[in-house]
A and B are shown apart, each in its own frame.
Chain A
Amino acid sequence: MNLRIKHLLGLENVSREDINTILDTAFSFREVLDRPIKKVPTLKGVTVANLFFENSTRTRISFELAEKRLSADTVNFSASGSSLAKGESLRDTIQNLFAMKMDVVVMRHPTPGSVKLLSRFVDAVVINAGDGTHEHPTQALLDIMSMKEKLGSIEGLNVAIIGDIRHSRVALSNIYGLKTMGANVLLCGPPTFMPYDVESLGVKVTYDLDEALAFADVINVLRIQRERQGKGLIPSMREYRNVYGVTQQRLSKLKRPITIMHPGPINRGVEIDTDMADSEHSIILHQVLNGVAVRMSILYLLAGGR
Protein backbone atom coordinates (compact mmCIF):
# COMPACT_ATOMS: atom_id res chain seq x y z
CA MET A 1 0.00 0.00 0.00
CA ASN A 2 2.96 2.30 -0.51
CA LEU A 3 2.26 4.95 -3.11
CA ARG A 4 4.17 4.90 -6.35
CA ILE A 5 4.85 8.64 -6.07
CA LYS A 6 7.48 9.94 -3.62
CA HIS A 7 6.32 13.58 -3.71
CA LEU A 8 2.99 15.18 -4.51
CA LEU A 9 3.94 17.72 -7.16
CA GLY A 10 0.75 17.52 -9.20
CA LEU A 11 -1.87 15.03 -10.36
CA GLU A 12 -0.63 14.89 -13.95
CA ASN A 13 1.30 11.67 -13.45
CA VAL A 14 -0.49 10.12 -10.49
CA SER A 15 -2.07 6.73 -11.22
CA ARG A 16 -5.65 5.72 -10.51
CA GLU A 17 -4.34 3.17 -8.04
CA ASP A 18 -2.49 5.84 -6.07
CA ILE A 19 -5.51 8.15 -6.07
CA ASN A 20 -7.70 5.33 -4.77
CA THR A 21 -5.21 4.61 -1.97
CA ILE A 22 -5.13 8.30 -1.04
CA LEU A 23 -8.95 8.49 -0.96
CA ASP A 24 -9.43 5.27 1.04
CA THR A 25 -6.86 6.43 3.58
CA ALA A 26 -8.48 9.87 3.70
CA PHE A 27 -11.85 8.37 4.61
CA SER A 28 -10.26 6.57 7.56
CA PHE A 29 -8.65 9.81 8.77
CA ARG A 30 -11.93 11.65 8.27
CA GLU A 31 -13.37 9.56 11.11
CA VAL A 32 -10.63 10.83 13.45
CA LEU A 33 -11.99 14.36 12.95
CA ASP A 34 -15.33 13.32 14.50
CA ARG A 35 -13.77 12.02 17.73
CA PRO A 36 -13.79 13.86 21.05
CA ILE A 37 -9.98 13.92 20.87
CA LYS A 38 -9.19 14.67 17.25
CA LYS A 39 -5.57 13.65 17.28
CA VAL A 40 -3.60 10.48 16.56
CA PRO A 41 0.11 9.85 17.25
CA THR A 42 0.82 8.55 13.74
CA LEU A 43 3.50 11.08 12.68
CA LYS A 44 5.11 11.69 16.06
CA GLY A 45 8.67 12.87 15.47
CA VAL A 46 8.12 13.97 11.87
CA THR A 47 8.87 17.64 11.18
CA VAL A 48 6.95 19.52 8.51
CA ALA A 49 7.86 22.93 7.12
CA ASN A 50 5.03 24.96 5.64
CA LEU A 51 6.49 27.41 3.17
CA PHE A 52 3.95 29.90 1.90
CA PHE A 53 5.24 32.42 -0.60
CA GLU A 54 1.70 33.46 -1.50
CA ASN A 55 -1.35 34.35 0.56
CA SER A 56 -3.56 31.54 1.74
CA THR A 57 -6.10 31.03 4.48
CA ARG A 58 -7.89 27.78 3.84
CA THR A 59 -5.03 25.72 2.45
CA ARG A 60 -2.53 26.84 5.04
CA ILE A 61 -4.80 26.26 8.01
CA SER A 62 -5.93 22.96 6.55
CA PHE A 63 -2.37 21.70 6.13
CA GLU A 64 -1.36 22.91 9.56
CA LEU A 65 -4.37 21.27 11.16
CA ALA A 66 -3.72 18.01 9.29
CA GLU A 67 -0.12 18.00 10.54
CA LYS A 68 -1.18 18.70 14.12
CA ARG A 69 -3.92 16.06 14.06
CA LEU A 70 -1.19 13.58 13.15
CA SER A 71 1.12 14.79 15.96
CA ALA A 72 3.81 16.05 13.57
CA ASP A 73 5.91 19.08 14.54
CA THR A 74 5.42 22.08 12.30
CA VAL A 75 7.30 25.23 11.40
CA ASN A 76 5.68 27.96 9.36
CA PHE A 77 7.33 30.29 6.98
CA SER A 78 5.77 33.09 5.00
CA ALA A 79 7.61 35.21 2.47
CA SER A 80 6.86 38.51 4.14
CA GLY A 81 9.05 39.08 7.17
CA SER A 82 11.67 36.56 6.02
CA SER A 83 15.25 36.81 4.78
CA LEU A 84 13.94 36.76 1.23
CA ALA A 85 13.17 40.41 1.82
CA LYS A 86 16.91 40.86 2.50
CA GLY A 87 17.76 39.46 -0.92
CA GLU A 88 18.45 35.81 -0.11
CA SER A 89 17.64 33.42 -2.98
CA LEU A 90 14.84 30.86 -2.68
CA ARG A 91 17.33 28.05 -2.88
CA ASP A 92 19.52 29.43 -0.09
CA THR A 93 16.54 30.09 2.15
CA ILE A 94 15.29 26.56 1.69
CA GLN A 95 18.67 24.89 2.04
CA ASN A 96 19.21 26.71 5.31
CA LEU A 97 15.83 25.55 6.54
CA PHE A 98 16.67 22.01 5.59
CA ALA A 99 19.99 22.10 7.36
CA MET A 100 17.70 22.03 10.41
CA LYS A 101 16.43 18.55 9.39
CA MET A 102 12.94 18.74 7.97
CA ASP A 103 11.17 15.60 6.82
CA VAL A 104 8.41 17.19 4.76
CA VAL A 105 7.96 20.50 3.02
CA VAL A 106 4.60 21.86 1.98
CA MET A 107 5.07 24.75 -0.44
CA ARG A 108 2.90 27.35 -2.13
CA HIS A 109 4.70 29.59 -4.58
CA PRO A 110 3.56 31.96 -7.36
CA THR A 111 5.90 30.43 -9.94
CA PRO A 112 4.69 27.35 -11.85
CA GLY A 113 7.20 24.51 -11.55
CA SER A 114 8.86 25.89 -8.40
CA VAL A 115 7.72 22.91 -6.35
CA LYS A 116 9.25 20.46 -8.79
CA LEU A 117 12.50 22.40 -8.70
CA LEU A 118 12.48 22.22 -4.92
CA SER A 119 12.03 18.44 -4.97
CA ARG A 120 15.32 18.14 -6.85
CA PHE A 121 17.50 19.76 -4.24
CA VAL A 122 16.02 18.86 -0.86
CA ASP A 123 16.11 15.49 0.82
CA ALA A 124 12.53 15.63 2.02
CA VAL A 125 9.03 14.79 0.90
CA VAL A 126 7.70 17.70 -1.13
CA ILE A 127 3.99 18.52 -1.29
CA ASN A 128 2.58 21.12 -3.66
CA ALA A 129 0.12 23.51 -2.00
CA GLY A 130 -0.32 25.44 -5.25
CA ASP A 131 2.35 26.59 -7.70
CA GLY A 132 1.16 29.62 -9.65
CA THR A 133 -1.32 28.77 -12.38
CA HIS A 134 0.03 25.20 -12.65
CA GLU A 135 -1.39 22.69 -10.15
CA HIS A 136 -3.05 22.46 -6.74
CA PRO A 137 -3.22 18.69 -6.26
CA THR A 138 -4.55 18.49 -2.69
CA GLN A 139 -7.51 20.70 -3.65
CA ALA A 140 -8.37 18.39 -6.56
CA LEU A 141 -8.04 15.34 -4.32
CA LEU A 142 -10.41 16.80 -1.74
CA ASP A 143 -12.81 17.73 -4.55
CA ILE A 144 -12.72 14.17 -5.88
CA MET A 145 -13.13 12.79 -2.34
CA SER A 146 -16.18 15.02 -1.81
CA MET A 147 -17.72 13.89 -5.11
CA LYS A 148 -17.10 10.28 -4.18
CA GLU A 149 -18.61 10.76 -0.74
CA LYS A 150 -21.74 12.38 -2.18
CA LEU A 151 -22.22 10.40 -5.38
CA GLY A 152 -20.49 7.08 -4.77
CA SER A 153 -18.28 6.72 -7.81
CA ILE A 154 -16.23 8.96 -10.08
CA GLU A 155 -16.27 6.60 -13.07
CA GLY A 156 -18.68 7.98 -15.67
CA LEU A 157 -19.59 11.02 -13.56
CA ASN A 158 -20.33 14.21 -15.53
CA VAL A 159 -18.39 17.09 -14.02
CA ALA A 160 -18.57 20.67 -15.29
CA ILE A 161 -15.87 23.11 -14.22
CA ILE A 162 -17.11 26.67 -14.62
CA GLY A 163 -15.19 29.94 -14.65
CA ASP A 164 -11.65 31.13 -15.13
CA ILE A 165 -10.08 27.88 -16.29
CA ARG A 166 -7.02 29.56 -17.71
CA HIS A 167 -5.71 31.02 -14.48
CA SER A 168 -6.88 28.19 -12.27
CA ARG A 169 -4.52 25.61 -10.81
CA VAL A 170 -7.59 24.05 -9.20
CA ALA A 171 -9.07 23.44 -12.65
CA LEU A 172 -5.92 21.86 -14.07
CA SER A 173 -5.42 19.49 -11.15
CA ASN A 174 -9.12 18.59 -11.23
CA ILE A 175 -8.91 17.82 -14.96
CA TYR A 176 -5.92 15.49 -14.48
CA GLY A 177 -7.41 13.75 -11.45
CA LEU A 178 -10.93 13.42 -12.78
CA LYS A 179 -9.78 12.09 -16.17
CA THR A 180 -7.58 9.51 -14.43
CA MET A 181 -10.58 8.43 -12.36
CA GLY A 182 -12.79 8.05 -15.44
CA ALA A 183 -15.05 11.11 -15.17
CA ASN A 184 -16.37 13.10 -18.15
CA VAL A 185 -15.18 16.67 -17.81
CA LEU A 186 -16.76 19.70 -19.46
CA LEU A 187 -15.20 23.15 -19.11
CA CYS A 188 -17.36 26.23 -19.28
CA GLY A 189 -16.44 29.93 -19.29
CA PRO A 190 -15.87 32.87 -21.58
CA PRO A 191 -13.38 32.26 -24.41
CA THR A 192 -10.87 34.63 -22.80
CA PHE A 193 -10.78 32.30 -19.77
CA MET A 194 -10.22 29.16 -21.83
CA PRO A 195 -6.64 27.91 -22.27
CA TYR A 196 -5.43 27.30 -25.81
CA ASP A 197 -5.87 23.70 -27.01
CA VAL A 198 -7.27 22.53 -23.68
CA GLU A 199 -9.27 19.80 -25.51
CA SER A 200 -5.99 17.89 -25.88
CA LEU A 201 -6.36 16.98 -22.18
CA GLY A 202 -9.41 14.92 -23.09
CA VAL A 203 -12.04 17.41 -21.96
CA LYS A 204 -14.90 19.14 -23.78
CA VAL A 205 -15.46 22.89 -23.87
CA THR A 206 -18.62 24.97 -24.00
CA TYR A 207 -19.22 28.69 -23.76
CA ASP A 208 -22.87 28.19 -22.84
CA LEU A 209 -23.59 27.84 -19.12
CA ASP A 210 -27.04 26.30 -19.64
CA GLU A 211 -25.47 23.54 -21.73
CA ALA A 212 -22.93 22.86 -18.98
CA LEU A 213 -25.64 22.71 -16.32
CA ALA A 214 -27.78 20.35 -18.41
CA PHE A 215 -24.78 18.01 -18.79
CA ALA A 216 -23.54 17.98 -15.22
CA ASP A 217 -24.05 15.72 -12.21
CA VAL A 218 -21.67 18.03 -10.37
CA ILE A 219 -20.53 21.58 -11.01
CA ASN A 220 -17.28 22.94 -9.64
CA VAL A 221 -17.62 26.71 -9.72
CA LEU A 222 -14.32 28.60 -9.75
CA ARG A 223 -13.64 31.93 -8.17
CA ILE A 224 -13.35 35.00 -10.38
CA GLN A 225 -9.90 36.16 -9.45
CA ARG A 226 -10.44 39.85 -8.84
CA GLU A 227 -6.70 40.42 -8.67
CA ARG A 228 -6.45 39.45 -12.33
CA GLN A 229 -9.32 41.60 -13.58
CA GLY A 230 -7.19 44.54 -14.69
CA LYS A 231 -6.43 42.68 -17.90
CA GLY A 232 -9.76 43.26 -19.57
CA LEU A 233 -10.57 39.56 -20.04
CA ILE A 234 -14.19 40.15 -19.06
CA PRO A 235 -16.12 43.40 -19.50
CA SER A 236 -17.28 43.59 -15.88
CA MET A 237 -18.20 41.49 -12.88
CA ARG A 238 -21.85 42.28 -13.50
CA GLU A 239 -21.64 41.13 -17.09
CA TYR A 240 -19.93 37.93 -15.94
CA ARG A 241 -22.69 37.24 -13.45
CA ASN A 242 -25.35 37.74 -16.09
CA VAL A 243 -23.77 35.25 -18.49
CA TYR A 244 -21.93 32.76 -16.24
CA GLY A 245 -23.34 33.26 -12.75
CA VAL A 246 -24.87 30.15 -11.13
CA THR A 247 -28.26 31.46 -10.05
CA GLN A 248 -31.51 30.06 -8.72
CA GLN A 249 -33.18 31.06 -11.98
CA ARG A 250 -30.83 28.92 -14.07
CA LEU A 251 -30.80 25.92 -11.78
CA SER A 252 -34.60 25.86 -11.44
CA LYS A 253 -34.85 25.18 -15.18
CA LEU A 254 -33.11 21.81 -14.74
CA LYS A 255 -35.00 18.55 -14.48
CA ARG A 256 -32.80 17.15 -11.71
CA PRO A 257 -30.76 18.66 -8.88
CA ILE A 258 -27.01 18.91 -9.36
CA THR A 259 -24.31 18.91 -6.72
CA ILE A 260 -22.61 22.27 -6.23
CA MET A 261 -18.94 22.69 -5.33
CA HIS A 262 -16.65 25.68 -4.97
CA PRO A 263 -12.99 25.69 -3.86
CA GLY A 264 -13.37 29.07 -2.08
CA PRO A 265 -13.03 31.89 -1.42
CA ILE A 266 -16.50 32.62 -2.84
CA ASN A 267 -17.48 35.89 -4.48
CA ARG A 268 -21.13 35.73 -3.51
CA GLY A 269 -23.31 37.29 -6.17
CA VAL A 270 -20.66 36.99 -8.87
CA GLU A 271 -19.86 33.42 -9.92
CA ILE A 272 -22.55 31.96 -7.65
CA ASP A 273 -25.52 33.33 -5.74
CA THR A 274 -25.72 33.05 -1.98
CA ASP A 275 -28.84 30.86 -2.04
CA MET A 276 -27.12 28.35 -4.32
CA ALA A 277 -23.85 28.27 -2.37
CA ASP A 278 -25.81 27.51 0.81
CA SER A 279 -28.42 25.18 -0.69
CA GLU A 280 -28.99 21.57 0.30
CA HIS A 281 -27.18 20.48 -2.88
CA SER A 282 -24.05 22.42 -2.01
CA ILE A 283 -21.18 20.40 -0.53
CA ILE A 284 -18.84 23.36 -0.16
CA LEU A 285 -18.33 22.92 3.59
CA HIS A 286 -17.84 19.16 3.20
CA GLN A 287 -15.01 20.04 0.85
CA VAL A 288 -13.33 22.03 3.60
CA LEU A 289 -13.60 19.19 6.13
CA ASN A 290 -12.47 16.61 3.59
CA GLY A 291 -9.50 18.86 2.85
CA VAL A 292 -8.06 18.18 6.30
CA ALA A 293 -8.62 14.43 5.90
CA VAL A 294 -7.05 14.29 2.45
CA ARG A 295 -3.98 16.18 3.65
CA MET A 296 -3.65 13.81 6.63
CA SER A 297 -3.81 10.94 4.17
CA ILE A 298 -1.10 12.40 1.91
CA LEU A 299 1.17 13.17 4.87
CA TYR A 300 0.79 9.66 6.28
CA LEU A 301 1.30 7.94 2.93
CA LEU A 302 4.33 10.00 1.90
CA ALA A 303 6.01 10.66 5.25
CA GLY A 304 4.90 7.60 7.22
CA GLY A 305 7.42 5.34 5.54
CA ARG A 306 10.42 7.58 6.19
Chain B
Amino acid sequence: MNFKTRSQLMDETALRRTITRLAHEIIERCKGIDDVAIIGIRTRGEFLAKRIAKKIEEVEGKPIPVGVLDTVMYRDDYRMKKQLPATEITEIPFDVDDKILVLVDDVIYTGRTIRAAMDALMDFGRPSAIQLAVLIDRGHRELPIKADYIGKSVPTARNEEVKVHMKEFDGRDEILLVEVTE
Protein backbone atom coordinates (compact mmCIF):
# COMPACT_ATOMS: atom_id res chain seq x y z
CA MET B 1 0.00 0.00 0.00
CA ASN B 2 1.17 3.51 -0.81
CA PHE B 3 0.07 6.69 0.88
CA LYS B 4 -0.31 10.27 -0.27
CA THR B 5 -0.44 12.87 2.49
CA ARG B 6 -3.61 14.97 2.41
CA SER B 7 -3.07 17.20 5.42
CA GLN B 8 -1.45 17.48 8.80
CA LEU B 9 -4.05 17.08 11.56
CA MET B 10 -1.74 17.80 14.50
CA ASP B 11 1.89 18.73 15.03
CA GLU B 12 3.88 18.21 18.22
CA THR B 13 2.51 21.33 19.93
CA ALA B 14 -1.11 20.61 19.02
CA LEU B 15 -0.75 17.04 20.26
CA ARG B 16 0.67 18.24 23.57
CA ARG B 17 -2.18 20.70 24.05
CA THR B 18 -4.78 18.09 23.16
CA ILE B 19 -3.35 15.64 25.70
CA THR B 20 -3.42 18.38 28.34
CA ARG B 21 -7.07 19.12 27.57
CA LEU B 22 -8.07 15.43 27.60
CA ALA B 23 -6.38 15.03 30.99
CA HIS B 24 -8.30 17.99 32.42
CA GLU B 25 -11.59 16.76 30.97
CA ILE B 26 -11.11 13.34 32.57
CA ILE B 27 -10.40 14.91 35.99
CA GLU B 28 -13.38 17.24 35.67
CA ARG B 29 -15.86 14.66 34.53
CA CYS B 30 -14.79 12.01 37.06
CA LYS B 31 -14.66 14.67 39.83
CA GLY B 32 -11.08 13.82 40.76
CA ILE B 33 -9.21 10.63 40.17
CA ASP B 34 -10.12 8.44 43.14
CA ASP B 35 -11.15 5.07 41.74
CA VAL B 36 -10.20 6.10 38.21
CA ALA B 37 -7.69 4.15 36.08
CA ILE B 38 -6.42 4.61 32.55
CA ILE B 39 -6.14 1.72 30.10
CA GLY B 40 -4.23 2.20 26.85
CA ILE B 41 -4.94 0.00 23.84
CA ARG B 42 -1.80 -1.29 22.15
CA THR B 43 0.12 -0.02 20.27
CA ARG B 44 -0.11 3.77 20.30
CA GLY B 45 -2.95 3.96 22.81
CA GLU B 46 -0.40 2.73 25.36
CA PHE B 47 1.86 5.75 24.91
CA LEU B 48 -1.06 8.11 24.78
CA ALA B 49 -2.44 6.63 28.02
CA LYS B 50 0.93 7.07 29.73
CA ARG B 51 1.16 10.71 28.62
CA ILE B 52 -2.37 11.46 29.79
CA ALA B 53 -1.64 9.75 33.13
CA LYS B 54 1.51 11.82 33.56
CA LYS B 55 -0.40 15.01 32.92
CA ILE B 56 -3.13 13.98 35.37
CA GLU B 57 -0.47 13.29 38.00
CA GLU B 58 1.01 16.77 37.45
CA VAL B 59 -2.38 18.37 37.96
CA GLU B 60 -3.71 16.26 40.82
CA GLY B 61 -0.40 15.64 42.58
CA LYS B 62 -0.86 11.89 42.82
CA PRO B 63 -0.38 8.98 40.43
CA ILE B 64 -3.22 7.27 38.57
CA PRO B 65 -3.04 3.55 37.76
CA VAL B 66 -2.24 2.76 34.13
CA GLY B 67 -2.80 -0.51 32.31
CA VAL B 68 -2.10 -1.71 28.80
CA LEU B 69 -4.51 -3.85 26.83
CA ASP B 70 -4.00 -5.96 23.72
CA THR B 71 -7.27 -6.66 21.92
CA VAL B 72 -6.12 -9.18 19.30
CA MET B 73 -7.46 -12.20 21.20
CA TYR B 74 -10.92 -10.59 21.18
CA ARG B 75 -11.06 -9.41 17.57
CA ASP B 76 -13.84 -10.70 15.30
CA ASP B 77 -12.04 -9.93 12.09
CA TYR B 78 -8.53 -11.40 12.41
CA ARG B 79 -9.48 -14.39 10.31
CA MET B 80 -10.36 -12.12 7.39
CA LYS B 81 -6.83 -10.79 7.20
CA LYS B 82 -4.01 -12.34 5.21
CA GLN B 83 -1.56 -11.97 8.07
CA LEU B 84 -2.45 -13.27 11.50
CA PRO B 85 -2.04 -10.35 13.92
CA ALA B 86 0.62 -10.71 16.62
CA THR B 87 -0.73 -11.04 20.14
CA GLU B 88 0.98 -8.96 22.80
CA ILE B 89 1.01 -9.04 26.55
CA THR B 90 -1.82 -7.32 28.42
CA GLU B 91 -0.74 -5.68 31.67
CA ILE B 92 -3.41 -4.54 34.09
CA PRO B 93 -1.55 -4.54 37.42
CA PHE B 94 -4.50 -3.43 39.57
CA ASP B 95 -7.97 -4.59 40.54
CA VAL B 96 -10.58 -3.20 38.11
CA ASP B 97 -13.61 -3.89 40.32
CA ASP B 98 -15.65 -0.74 41.06
CA LYS B 99 -13.22 1.50 39.19
CA ILE B 100 -13.96 3.96 36.41
CA LEU B 101 -11.80 2.72 33.55
CA VAL B 102 -10.89 5.26 30.88
CA LEU B 103 -9.97 3.39 27.69
CA VAL B 104 -7.51 5.29 25.55
CA ASP B 105 -6.87 4.77 21.84
CA ASP B 106 -5.36 6.92 19.12
CA VAL B 107 -8.10 6.69 16.47
CA ILE B 108 -11.71 5.51 16.59
CA TYR B 109 -13.10 4.28 13.28
CA THR B 110 -15.49 1.29 13.03
CA GLY B 111 -15.64 0.85 16.82
CA ARG B 112 -14.70 -2.82 16.62
CA THR B 113 -11.45 -2.44 18.54
CA ILE B 114 -13.34 -0.74 21.37
CA ARG B 115 -15.93 -3.53 21.39
CA ALA B 116 -13.09 -6.06 21.70
CA ALA B 117 -11.44 -3.96 24.44
CA MET B 118 -14.65 -3.77 26.46
CA ASP B 119 -15.13 -7.54 26.23
CA ALA B 120 -11.56 -8.00 27.42
CA LEU B 121 -11.99 -5.62 30.37
CA MET B 122 -15.09 -7.48 31.53
CA ASP B 123 -12.92 -10.59 31.92
CA PHE B 124 -10.80 -8.74 34.48
CA GLY B 125 -13.70 -7.94 36.78
CA ARG B 126 -16.60 -5.53 37.11
CA PRO B 127 -15.63 -1.90 36.64
CA SER B 128 -18.20 0.67 37.82
CA ALA B 129 -17.98 2.36 34.40
CA ILE B 130 -15.95 2.28 31.21
CA GLN B 131 -15.29 5.56 29.39
CA LEU B 132 -13.48 6.19 26.13
CA ALA B 133 -10.89 8.80 25.19
CA VAL B 134 -9.54 9.07 21.64
CA LEU B 135 -7.21 11.45 19.90
CA ILE B 136 -9.01 11.38 16.55
CA ASP B 137 -12.60 10.40 15.75
CA ARG B 138 -12.73 9.74 12.02
CA GLY B 139 -16.38 8.59 11.79
CA HIS B 140 -17.75 5.52 9.95
CA ARG B 141 -18.88 3.64 13.04
CA GLU B 142 -20.21 0.10 12.53
CA LEU B 143 -21.24 -0.37 16.16
CA PRO B 144 -23.21 1.83 18.59
CA ILE B 145 -20.11 3.20 20.35
CA LYS B 146 -19.11 6.80 20.97
CA ALA B 147 -16.16 8.44 22.67
CA ASP B 148 -16.51 10.46 25.91
CA TYR B 149 -13.36 12.51 25.32
CA ILE B 150 -12.30 13.46 21.79
CA GLY B 151 -9.13 15.22 20.74
CA LYS B 152 -10.39 16.13 17.32
CA SER B 153 -13.26 14.99 15.08
CA VAL B 154 -12.16 14.64 11.48
CA PRO B 155 -14.55 13.78 8.64
CA THR B 156 -12.78 11.23 6.45
CA ALA B 157 -13.42 9.13 3.36
CA ARG B 158 -13.08 5.35 3.52
CA ASN B 159 -10.04 5.40 1.25
CA GLU B 160 -8.26 7.70 3.67
CA GLU B 161 -6.36 6.78 6.81
CA VAL B 162 -5.26 8.63 9.90
CA LYS B 163 -1.56 8.06 10.57
CA VAL B 164 -0.58 8.72 14.16
CA HIS B 165 3.12 9.07 14.88
CA MET B 166 4.27 9.13 18.47
CA LYS B 167 7.80 9.75 19.68
CA GLU B 168 7.94 6.61 21.82
CA PHE B 169 7.25 4.36 18.84
CA ASP B 170 7.75 6.35 15.63
CA GLY B 171 10.43 8.83 16.66
CA ARG B 172 8.28 11.94 16.18
CA ASP B 173 4.93 13.45 17.19
CA GLU B 174 2.69 14.11 14.21
CA ILE B 175 -0.77 13.12 12.99
CA LEU B 176 -1.46 13.00 9.27
CA LEU B 177 -4.51 12.39 7.10
CA VAL B 178 -3.38 10.28 4.16
CA GLU B 179 -5.00 8.81 1.09
CA VAL B 180 -4.37 5.15 0.30
CA THR B 181 -3.28 4.83 -3.33
CA GLU B 182 -3.02 1.04 -3.72
Contacts and interface: CB of A to CB of B under 8 A. Distances in A.
Interface of A: 1-2, 21, 24-25, 27-29, 31-32, 35-37, 39-42, 300-301, 304-306
A35 B124 contact: yes
Interface string B61-90: 000000000101110001100011111111
A57 B30 CA distance: 51
A31 B89 contact: yes
B98 interface: no
Contact of A28 (B78, B84, B88, B120): B88
Nearest to B87: A28
A237 B79 CA distance: 52
Contact of A25 (B79, B86, B90, B125): B86
A300 B91 CA distance: 20
A1 B72 CA distance: 13
B119 interface: yes
A21 B70 CA distance: 16
Give chain A's interface secondary structure class: loop
A304 B77 CA distance: 11
A64 B159 CA distance: 43
Contacts of B28: none
A29 B119 contact: no
A29 B87 CA distance: 8
Nearest to A21: B86
A40 B73 contact: yes
B74 A40 contact: yes
Given A32-B73, A39-B123, A41-B119, A27 B89 contact: yes
Contacts of B85: 1
Contacts of B124: 35-37
Nearest to B116: A41
